[in-house]
């Protein structure tokens, strides 16, 4: 059974999982990931979710303020050995619920183009591709940006 805990970016389990995420992304993208790391700082994030199976941390995600009505989903990860068990969807549901509780209307996110499992998850949960935003403008060859209306 998956259990979820809301926390913040000081959480030790979150740091453990983000380290695993960073290794996964480095394997997928190589040196390109070193460039993207500047966009993925995890200091001072008040909205973090950690997922557990049998008290073991197996997944995480968080969000940051994007604009007055939106948050940006960041650092989504499910441990490789635990994939296919619904961890990503459970984390995403909790992040969206939390964002809505705080009065947000939308979530946005950026993902790399070499993460088909993530693309499938987001599309199946109602995310649609949008023009790249912010620091991802001009990086369409490697980045995909998406958005979801939390009111639908």
Give Cβ neighbours of residue 118 (< 8 Å, ≥ 6 apart): 76, 88, 111
User: Can you give the pTM of this predicted structure?
Assistant: 0.92
Total number of domains constituting the chain? 1
pLDDT of residue 152: 82
Report d(CA 146, CA 127) in Å as an integer. Answer: 6
Show the domain range for 37. Answer: 2-149
CATH number at residue 83: 3.40.630.30
Does the pLDDT of residue 107 top 90, yes or no? yes
Instruction: Please state whether beta strands 70-78 and 106-112 pair in parallel, antiparallel, or not at all (unpaired).
Output: parallel
Please write the tens of the pLDDT for every residue from 71-104: 999 999 999 899 899 999 999 999 999 999 999 9
Mean pLDDT (the chain) is 92
Query: 3-state DSSP helix/strand/coil percent for the chain, to nearest 5?
Result: 40, 35, 30
Q: Where are the alpha helices (DSSP H) in 12-134?
A: 12-29, 31-36, 87-101, 116-124
């Amino acid at each position: 059974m998956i259990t979820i805990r809301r926390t913040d970016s000081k959480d030790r389990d979150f740091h453990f999982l983000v380290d695993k995420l960073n290794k996964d992304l480095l394997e997928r993208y190589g040196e390109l990931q070193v460039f993207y790391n500047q966009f993925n700082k995890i200091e001072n994030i008040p909205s973090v979710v950690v997922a557990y199976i049998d008290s073991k941390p197996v997944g995480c995600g968080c969000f940051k303020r994007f604009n007055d009505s939106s948050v940006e989903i960041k650092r989504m990860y499910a441990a490789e050995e635990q994939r296919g068990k619904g961890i990503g969807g459970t984390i995403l549901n909790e992040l969206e619920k939390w964002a809505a509780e705080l009065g947000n209307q939308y979530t946005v996110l950026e993902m790399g183009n070499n993460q088909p499992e993530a693309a499938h998850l987001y599309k199946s949960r109602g995310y649609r591709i949008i023009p790249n935003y912010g620091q991802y403008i001009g990086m369409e060859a490697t980045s995909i940006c998406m958005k979801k209306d939390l009111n639908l």
